[in-house]
Chain A
Amino acid sequence: MDNIGLIGAVSIVTAGLTLAIGSLGPAFGEARAAAQALAAIAQQPDEANTITRTLFVSLAMIESTAIYCFVLSMILIFTNPIWNRVLEMATP
């Protein structure tokens, strides 16, 4: 395989791996947070408003790690800077 093909293949595989591994952790984390919040609401239904608001904010915080991975993989697939540079060097 020539270098350009290699860079393309590595980029795509890395993008998939980034998204797969990067969404695994936040998924576990969000599941735990949601389960805890539901248990808390079941115990104290009066505090449902506060718990829900805090839950949303913390879910967003947890989710941002997954979003970083998503943005990274999108950059790798659609606007890969290394790929563009290699293409520029290959076509004088």
Chain B
Amino acid sequence: MQITPDELIILQWGGLRLNATIVFTWIVMALLAGGARLVTARLSDDEAPSRWQNLLEVLVNGMRDQIRESSQHDPGRYLPFVGTLFLFIAVSNSLAIVPGFLSPTGSLSTTTALALCVLVAVPVYSIVGSGFGGWLRTWLQPSWLMLPFNIVGEFTRTVALAIRLYGNVMSGTLLAGLLIGIIPFFFPTLMQLLGLLTGLIQAYIFAVLAMVYIAAAAGTPGDRSGKPE
């Protein structure tokens, strides 16, 4: 039994191997980018926007509200990064109900890449927000005695972020695979339903945790008051 889609080679020419993780990541990317491009191609600001425009507006507004609430910052700067994380993970987790689709987040390499993005984004946002000195000072919070713990914590939380998402998605697929062998038809469907719920919650949690880490390093909350516009 294979527990990650990494081992499934779809195409191979020469030394170049294309495994299922990359292919399904590209599918999700194409779906997200193509869908957004299609919808935003003809935006309207009249009384009744199209159904898809409505969907996107609800999504973007919801993400902005969540970012504002969980970080107390103005969401404008964080929305592109955190929103992309959420949308990518949510779409790839919920597409798991499509037969034959292996969720790319069920591979440790994908989740590690996402967690590394967060690891890089935290100092970038911190330096942009409060300058290089401000970023260095976040390492000394609350006192300089905590410096080694801060350094260790930076890496362990990245590992935790990656393993958490991977473990949750992988356990869902694995459980469904095992249950189909034991109790076919009805029960695996229920577990898939539960997997859909956990997938969305995990996407939410990944995004919120990334936002919390970024906001913690980006300076004191409230200096950029999060007023609803």
Contact = CB atoms under 8 A, between A and B. Distances in A.
A63 B160 CA distance: 11
Nearest to B160: A64
Contact of B163 (A53, A56, A68, A79): A68
A65 to B, nearest CB: 9
Given A57-B212, A74-B174, A67 B69 contact: no
Interface footprint category on B: 20 to 34
A50 interface: yes
B59 interface: no
A70 interface: yes
A57 B209 contact: yes
B69 A64 contact: no
Given A78-B1, A78-B3, A57 B164 contact: no
Contacts of A63: 164
* Listed residue (A50, A53, A63, A67) with the most chain B CB atoms within 10 angstroms of its CB: A67
A7 to B, nearest CB: 19
B172 to A, nearest CB: 11
Contacts of A49: 69
Interface stretch (B83-91, B130-138, B198-206): B198-206
Interface residues of A, number: 15
Contact of A53 (B3, B174, B208): B208
Interface in B56-106: 66, 69-70
Interface in A59-76: 60, 63-64, 67-68, 70-71, 74
B167 A60 contact: no
Given A64-B163, A74-B3, A56 B204 contact: yes
B189 interface: no
Contacts of B164: 60, 63-64, 67
7 contacts: A53-B69, A53-B208, A68-B163, A71-B170, A74-B171, A74-B174, A78-B3
Interface of B: 1, 3, 66, 69-70, 160, 163-164, 166-168, 170-171, 174, 201-202, 204-205, 208-209, 212
Interface of A: 49-50, 53, 56-57, 60, 63-64, 67-68, 70-71, 74, 78-79
Given A56-B204, A60-B202, A64-B164, 20 more contacts: A49-B69, A50-B69, A53-B70, A53-B208, A56-B201, A56-B208, A57-B208, A60-B164, A60-B209, A63-B164, A64-B160, A67-B163, A67-B167, A67-B171, A71-B167, A71-B170, A74-B170, A74-B171, A74-B174, A78-B1
